[in-house]
Structure 1
Amino acid sequence: MYVDYVRAYTKAASGSALDRTGWTATTSPVNSTPANMLDGNASTRWTTGTDMVPGQYFIVDMKAAKTFNKLTIDCTGNSKDYARGYQVFVSSDGTNWGSEVASGTGTDPLITISLAPKTARFIKVVQTGTATNWWSVREFNVYN
């Protein structure tokens, strides 16, 4: 008589998005409505309103220190409006940023950035590429 044993494997959860209630965003250039990238509504967005050039950025204030290891920058809906390059910085006070904690090249409208666990209150994403498209962000999420 055979007895088959089946070992079930479960995939570890990839983490959940942090609650963005009360979070605020500031941007450079100042255009559109930065809060749109935190509102949970895929039909709204923040946009630079101008061609992409290195140095454009947004800063998200999570209002308290949070620990996280993944970010997503959702630029869908305007398929060519994603950052061509990016650097990520974190800060506890919104003034002292230190060295980048992640950087890369954007290749499609949903940019997922995995990083070693960080604890910070502020996250700054700097756009480092050049394109004739605007940089537009529908939703920005942080995960733990």
Structure 2
Amino acid sequence: MAKKLASTTKPVRVAIVANMIKMAASASGAADLFRQVLNQAQFPDTAIDLTLQLNVSRTVDQGQINRLCRWATTQMQLLAVQIGPDGVATPVVTAVEHGLALMADVNTAPTFDLNDANLAFDLLAAEVAEIISSGYARLTAA
């Protein structure tokens, strides 16, 4: 859909965002995953609620792209809501899941040459795929 729209209008900026979660058995398991994935970053062993976010730009033939990535331990709760006879909603936590979340937002900088927006989408999609497969190392590679 985005490529179709880009072929009929002149976009100013283009972005692809991916959100992923790798499940863990517990909060400490999620923290362990965080440390494994980001093994180059140093965090105290007792740290909880870990988050690392950075934006690393990269120069390509058409200009600059921004690669904003955020890794974070996360907790998800499944809630069941019961409405009482008095009309009051009472939420009950029925399940708690833990995991490591990665949000990757790869976008064109304002100076990026968007004469071929379809090419830009392909470039950004390839970059997101590399971040997903290589993680933090992709951002720190030359």
Give the alignment's TM-score, normalised by structure 2: 0.28
> TM-score, normalised on structure 1?
0.28
Structure (1 or 2) with the greater strand fraction: 1
